[in-house]
Each structure stands twice: as C-alpha cells, then as structure tokens.
Amino acid sequence: MNKLIEYLKKSLEKVKSIDWKNLLKQKSKDPIFWVHFSAYAIPLAFLLYVLYMNFLPFGYSKTFTLDVGGPNDTKVSEFYLEPSPNLSERKVASNGAPYRELNGTANVIFKPNAILKNAVVNVSVEGDDVSIISPIVNLDPLTIKWDYSWDFTKEVPKDLKSNTFIFDGATYFNGKDTRLELPNSASKFESGPFTIYAEWEPRDSEHNTQQIVGHYNWELWQNKDSVEFRVGRMNNAQGNAYSIKYPIDADFFNTKHTAVAIYNPSKNGYINLYVDDNLAGRTYFNSDKIWNEYGNQNITFGKSNHGVAAYFKGNLYKVNYISKAILASQSQATFKVKNNDQIDISLVSTATSTLKQIELNITQK
C-alpha cells in the first residue's frame, strides 16, 4: 500500500508539471507528441482508476453469472467455483446447457476487485434441491417475533431466578457464583427446531465451558479460544453430541459480541452458528434428535449443570429464543459486506442434485 501511495504521489507530481499549453501546440501527427502524451496520460488514467475503485463516487453495481459446468467455472477469477469432491465432472443437459451434480457441500468464491464498504450482496442459485448457506447473517433481532425475549440491560428479568445484578447497562456475572435460571422449563426449548440469539461481553480468557445460555442437552459456551454451540446427547443415553466452534483470540474478550445458534432436526438435520454475523459453520447429524431426558434441567444462564462447566464472567445484554430454524434452506441469500475481503459462499445438497447456474449481484451506493 505504501508503494502504491508513493506511486500516486509521483503521478500527481507529473500531472502538475505538465506544460499543457506547449504540449497542445505540438502537431498531433508528430510522433514526439504521442510519446509525451502517453507519458502523462497513462499515469493519470491509472490514478483516476485507483481513486475510482477506492472511493466509487458514482456508486457500484455489478452482476456476475457463473454457468456451472462451463469451461471456466473453476478458473480463479473474481467469482468462481472451488473444486470439491462433492462436485461431479462437467456434464451437458439434453438442451445443451452445462451443469454439474452436487452431493454435499461446495464453495463458490467471490474476490472483489473494487474497494467495498457496506455493499449489499445478493446470491441466487439455479438447481434442483440446492440451497445457500449465507456466510453473513446481518440479523436484526427486532424484525423477529421471538417466543422469549430476555433483556438484561435495564433489570434482571423477573421470570428468572437470579443472584446477579445490573451494572452499567448489563447483567453482570462475576465468574464465581452468579447464574440465572428459568423455573419449570425442564421440558421446554428442546422438542423441535429453535434459534437462539445472544448479546454478551466475555471477560475471562482462561476458562472453557462458560455458559452464555443452555439447557444441558444444548449449550452456547464461551471458551478461552472459541465460542461453541453444541447439542446432545442425541436419541438416547449413548447418543452422540455435535458441536461447532468459532475460533477467537485474546482481542475477543472485553468486547460486546453477538451469536445466532440454530438447531434444525429433520432427515438431514443440522446446527448452524454465527458469531458477530459471520458463519462459524454447519454440522449435519442426519435424522438424530436431542434426547429430551438428557439432564432434565431448566434453561440456565451463566453456569451449566454439567460437571465440566465453569461460571461465566462478563456481561449479558440480550437472549432471545424462537421455536423455529431461521435461515432454513434457501435458494437466495442477501447480506452486507463491510470490506472487500474474500467471501466463501457454501452451496449444499443433501442428495445428488443438479447445479446449473450461480448469480451474484453486488451494489454499493
């Protein structure tokens, strides 16, 4: 970047030093004229291009269309399909249109050349039973009618059994003996799909299994090196547990964060986790379901009843719950991007499906 800035400075100096009056007096048929003109015009054009791509004064809108199975669908470019063992070789339909079969997950990569700031991306896929896992969630909790919505910023919710207290606009957990519990909730929050939304600030970077919210057979945990969403045991006392971890570093602590955790049981059931709007991952568990009898505990905040669990230290701002899986299978996804970092967009099919075309439109005003 420093080299680019230095080059731009030199280009500006060249442009300023142009004796335009004498330059225009030269005959246009004179080869020397064109040599001089090129010497000044090229850096000027480059300067204008760089300034435009960085500041986009007239806005930016571009659509990329990827014909899957075409000769260049996996060629590295601004928008391309990443090779995957779940993708078939190139195939051609009876009408001559190219396609590939997808059985599992594959990624399509967007590497924007423009310098983007808060641009809106819309991605759509054409194919039989192929859906998009949005890489960014941009969830506004006010747009959802939650079954439960606990606001910990003004007072400790009255429906919760508590030994915590409000401090500086949040409910504070001391990491030693403070927790919350919803009485008579042992048989709730586990019988079907659900989505959890949480806002919290962690302050203990030394201990794992600090519970943000959980129900013993599912947990949203703050660890020293990750945020983790886990479910299980599944089906029975010997069933598996499944989890997703979002890696973090020391800078994650003492700062407010958000999480969206999704449990969606079906014949191709899965869990999703987003932290600070970013996709941590998706884990599939086929037709398994949470075993309702595992633990038989009330929903809690700040400390799980698991033997390995530690007390949470930090602030809790909001926790919302709805008995449905938001962001379920979708052939189209819209989200905002804050910069021009590479975006990996996951495509998924739970059976062998036809993948024909992927379209991405990006707009910045």
Beta bridge partners of 274: 260, 279
Question: Rounded to an integer, what distance in angstroms lies between the CA atom of residue 43 and that of residue 34?
Answer: 14
- Count of other CB atoms within 10 angstroms of residue 6: 10
| pLDDT exceeds 80 at position 42 | no
The model's pLDDT over 349-362, given as tens digits with 9 standing for 90+, comes to: 888 999 999 999 99
Q: Tokens standing for 314?
A: 């930090």
Average pLDDT over residues 335-343: 84
Average pLDDT over residues 261-269: 93
Helix (H, G, I), strand (E, B) or coil at 251: helix
For the domain bounded by 60-134+330-364, which CATH number is listed?
2.60.120
pLDDT of residue 68: 97
Place of tokens 């310098």: 115
Higher pLDDT, 320 or 51: 320
Average pLDDT over residues 282-308: 92
Average pLDDT over residues 183-190: 90
The model's pLDDT over 196-222, given as tens digits with 9 standing for 90+, comes to: 999 999 999 999 999 999 999 999 999
The domains of the chain are located at 2-55, 60-134+330-364, 141-322
The model's pLDDT over 97-111, given as tens digits with 9 standing for 90+, comes to: 999 999 999 999 999
Question: Rounded to an integer, what distance in angstroms lies between the CA atom of residue 150 and that of residue 183?
Answer: 14
Average pLDDT over residues 226-247: 96
pLDDT of residue 98: 96
| pLDDT exceeds 60 at position 275 | yes
β-strand pairing of 218-222 with 210-214: antiparallel
pLDDT of residue 1: 44
Q: Tokens standing for 246?
A: 């979002």
| pLDDT exceeds 60 at position 20 | no
β-strand pairing of 269-275 with 257-264: antiparallel
What whole-number percentage of the chain has pLDDT above 70?
Answer: 83
Q: Which of these ranges, 166-180, 181-195, 205-219, 332-346, has the smallest mean pLDDT?
A: 332-346
The model's pLDDT over 145-180, given as tens digits with 9 standing for 90+, comes to: 999 999 999 999 999 999 999 999 999 999 999 999
Band of residue 39 on the pLDDT scale cut at 50, 70, 90: low
Band of residue 41 on the pLDDT scale cut at 50, 70, 90: low
Beta strands in 111-183 (DSSP E): 119-127, 131-133, 148-151, 161-162, 165-166, 171-174, 180-181
Average pLDDT over residues 100-123: 89
pLDDT of residue 82: 96
Average pLDDT over residues 21-48: 58
pTM for this predicted structure? 0.80
pLDDT of residue 300: 97
pLDDT of residue 144: 95
Higher pLDDT, 54 or 348: 348
Any idea which architecture 141-322 has in CATH? Sandwich (2.60)
Cα R_g (the chain), whole angstroms: 27
Band of residue 304 on the pLDDT scale cut at 50, 70, 90: very high
| pLDDT exceeds 80 at position 249 | yes
Place of tokens 């075409």: 70
Question: Rounded to an integer, what distance in angstroms lies between the CA atom of residue 132 and that of residue 120?
Answer: 16
Q: How much is the mean pLDDT over the chain?
A: 87
Higher pLDDT, 49 or 314: 314
pLDDT of residue 43: 63
Report which of 260, 190, 282 is spatially closest to residue 232, judged by C-alpha positions.
Answer: 190
Question: Rounded to an integer, what distance in angstroms lies between the CA atom of residue 27 and that of residue 34?
Answer: 10
pLDDT of residue 287: 94
pLDDT of residue 327: 78
Band of residue 225 on the pLDDT scale cut at 50, 70, 90: very high
Coarse DSSP helix, strand, coil percentages of the chain, rounded to the nearest 5 percent:
15, 40, 45
Report which of 172, 182, 177, 181 is spatially closest to residue 202, judged by C-alpha positions.
Answer: 172
Average pLDDT over residues 47-73: 73
Residue 339, Cβ density class (10 Å: 0-12 exposed, 13-18 middle, ≥19 buried):
exposed
